């Protein structure tokens, strides 16, 4: 793969969580969330992207989402559980992504809103087809997935450098 081949970042919001009497960080998936997680796993497989790395929040609902989704992938990427993804702002997420080693081409980020939606918005200066309109219309519900591409090294990732390639929600499909 050449250095000028665009990189891809898939931004995945965790699936629907339950509200038991536990801390927010420890909330598990609801029954609907388990179905959403499997469905988004199928969508990830359908993209044909062989992710080199998955960065997943340490929250229970993100870990459960990833555990179900990864079962649907033909290739299991290296996974790193990252505390900094929990309650991260778009700026904090970009700073984290700037640390990604350049040998990583395609990366999957499993996190939370409002960070995932805001990051998809802030990175994307333009969009393919109607992806931006669909994302704007439906927001970024649980198990939503946005795929953004950009050119250059990870340390050059900043607002406006990306193209929104794909947007998917469980309700749309």
- List residues forming the annotated binding site: 61
CA atoms within 13 A on the CB side of 170: 19
Annotated binding-site members for substrate: 61
Active site residue 172: no
Whether residue 83 lies in the annotated active site: no
| 145: phi then psi, degrees, rounded to nearest 5 | -135, 130
Which one is catalytic: 64, 75, 82, 87? 87
Please state, in angstroms and as integers, the Cα–Cα distance from residue 2 to each residue in 7, 94, 106, 162, following that order.
11, 23, 13, 18
Distance of CA 83 to the CA centre of its chain: 15
Residue positions annotated with a catalytic role: 14, 87
């Amino acid at each position: 793969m050449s250095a000028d081949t665009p990189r891809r970042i898939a931004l995945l919001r965790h699936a629907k969580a339950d509200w038991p009497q536990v801390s927010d960080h420890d909330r598990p998936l609801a029954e609907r969330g388990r179905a959403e997680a499997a469905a988004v796993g199928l969508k990830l497989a359908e993209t044909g992207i062989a992710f080199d790395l998955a960065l997943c929040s340490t929250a229970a609902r993100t870990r459960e989402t990833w555990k179900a989704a990864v079962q649907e992938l033909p290739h299991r990427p290296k996974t790193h559980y990252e505390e900094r993804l929990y309650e991260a702002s778009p700026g904090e997420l970009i700073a984290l992504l700037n640390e990604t080693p350049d040998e990583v081409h395609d990366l999957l980020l499993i996190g939370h809103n409002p960070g995932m939606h805001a990051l998809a918005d802030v990175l994307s200066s333009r969009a393919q087809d109607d992806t931006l309109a669909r994302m704007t219309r439906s927001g970024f519900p649980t198990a939503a997935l946005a795929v953004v591409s950009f050119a250059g090294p990870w340390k050059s990732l900043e607002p406006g450098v990306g193209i929104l390639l794909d947007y998917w929600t469980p309700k749309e499909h």
